[in-house]
Amino acid sequence: EIVLTQSPGTLSLSPGERATLSCRASQSVSSSYLAWYQQKPGQAPRLLIYGASSRATGIPDRFSGSGSGTDFTLTISRLEPEDFAVYYCQQYGSSQGTFGQGTKVEIK
Amino acid sequence: QVTLRESGPALVKPTQTLTLTCTFSGFSLSTSGMCVSWIRQPPGKALEWLARIDWDDDKYYSTSLKTRLTISKDTSKNQVVLTMTNMDPVDTATYYCARIPRIVGAYDYWGQGTLVTVSS
């Protein structure tokens, strides 16, 4: 089973700043099957990025994904007030899917 | 449009079996490449992947929970059912179903989730 480790656990930033979130896999993940989600309190997760770097429908271009192999990154170029939330990475393997433990982006 | 909705008991007793139903619309689970998963989230904690069923009836389970889980589908009713045996208070969580087309490789639509509390 592939384990995804996200860092940092919490990111304290101000609106307008750049956020860089990391997701490291215990073994190589196909870039086609690495995704990022945003979750706000009381809501279901929302797909942001799939295929490591493709934005889902309706996602603003301040969100971008990159990486390959075992190291992936989600970047939010300029934080808007609505971007403060928890972010999860996820891999879709041939037999199982796993999620990272999440990174909380909070207002500094 | 695509929607998914989870249903089932809000409260179960320890050792009981939980049965959850995901009723969906806007797509068919008989379409090649279409899959549906169950994912849960204990209060204040991270998402945990539980199981997946594919359009061809292939089924996959979490390694740590596979002895307790069964996933099935009823294509005619547009439903996916998850059963979890021997429930314990640590299984208290919001349970989500979500769609994952293989061509996307990510969960593009989610239900709103259903909170299941395990308590005597």
- How many A/B residue pairs have CB atoms within 8 Å? 64
Per-residue pLDDT of chain B (120 residues; tens, 9 = 90+): 999 999 999 999 999 999 999 999 999 999 999 999 999 999 999 999 999 999 999 999 999 999 999 999 999 999 999 999 999 999 999 999 999 998 898 999 999 999 999 999
Q: Do B93 and B42 touch, CB atoms closer than 8 A?
A: yes
DSSP code of B32? Answer: T
Asked if omega into A81 is within 30° of 0 (cis), the reply is no
Q: Do B46 and A88 touch (CB under 8 A)?
A: yes
Q: Residue for token digits 């909705």?
A: B5
Q: Do B106 and A56 touch (CB under 8 A)?
A: yes
Residue B103: closest C-alpha in chain A: A32
Burial A66-101 (b: 16+ CB within 10 A, else e): ebeeeebbbebeebeeebbbbbbbbbbbeebbbbbb
Q: Do B116 and B95 touch, CB atoms closer than 8 A?
A: yes
